[in-house]
Amino acid sequence: MCRLFGLSSAPLRTHATFWLLDAPDSLSRQSHRDPDGTGLGHFAADGTPRVDKAPIAAYRDRAFAEEARQEESATFIAHVRYASTGSLDVRNTHPFEQDGRLFAHNGVIEGLDRLDGHLGEDRSLVRGDTDSERFFALITRETRRHGGDVTAGIREAAGWIAGNLPVFAMNLILVTPRELWALRYPDTHELYVLERPAGGQHGSRHLDHSGSHGRMRVHSSHLAEHPAVVVASERMDDNPHWRLLEPGELLHVGPDLHVTRQVALPDPPAHPLTLDDLHPDAAASQKAA
């Protein structure tokens, strides 16, 4: 399945190095599907969003994706994609940018013709073919309608999809220059949060996170001395304080690292999907890789 990662050290701008794709060994190549794209998003000092991403449609794309990237930002978002909808093209590679915000998603939403109709003229926000970018466009539309309230935008958009469209999963991370949001829905895929004090569990260590499947690694020496909040699709170190978000839980990390949570979607999807309901490519994209 796709890998999500988000980090906030706000208001501190943190130097962090990301490896979004490690080359698997031959055994891994036999037993696991290769990813279809990687992307990293962050913000310049003036708040301008920056996105560095590539589909993995050719060797040169894979070479690009395997390079380490060192960036500075108060918030980061990273994604390793296993395609469920949309071609292997940069326009379909996460994260996406709209209204100065960055977004990545893990899951499958069907009924896209109906979603397009619901978006109406706001369908123009969508440049690619994915369900994820359409979901983001609906969040953007609802955020505008609520005067820039991103929490309300996510709650309204996700609630409409959950009540009207077939849903397998729609976990998300959304970031602005100083804030982060994460949603786990329903209970299909895991999404974890770690409120990490300066130096981590032992009080003196830099951040060095690595996914168990070898697709993503993050290192920051700055976080030996400063706190941070991390959200990820899996526990990325042995810290015992990783917490699994509840199904339907919407998490918000404010500009001072204050964390608030609400169960924004208390009910299961009106039209839940199982792996057997999905197209084989979509089903393959949602299995652990």
Task: Supply the pLDDT for residue 84.
Answer: 59
Q: Are 250 and 36 in contact (CB under 8 A)?
A: no
Q: What share of the chain is helix, strand, coil (3-state, %, to 5)?
A: 25, 35, 40
Q: For residue 282, what pLDDT is reported?
A: 64
- Give the per-residue pLDDT at 26: 38
pTM beyond 0.85: the answer is yes
Residue 18 phi/psi, 5° resolution? -120, 135
Report pLDDT for 28. 40
Residue 272, judged by CB atoms within 10 A of its CB (0-12, 13-18, 19+), counts as: middle
Q: Specify the pLDDT at position 27.
A: 38
Identify the segments of the chain with pLDDT beneath 70.
Answer: 1, 22-34, 57-58, 81-90, 203, 211-214, 280-289
Q: What is the pLDDT of residue 214?
A: 53
Tell me: the pLDDT tens digits for 198-226?
A: 887 776 778 887 766 557 888 899 888 89
Please report the pLDDT score of residue 145 as a whole number: 97
pLDDT value of position 35 = 74
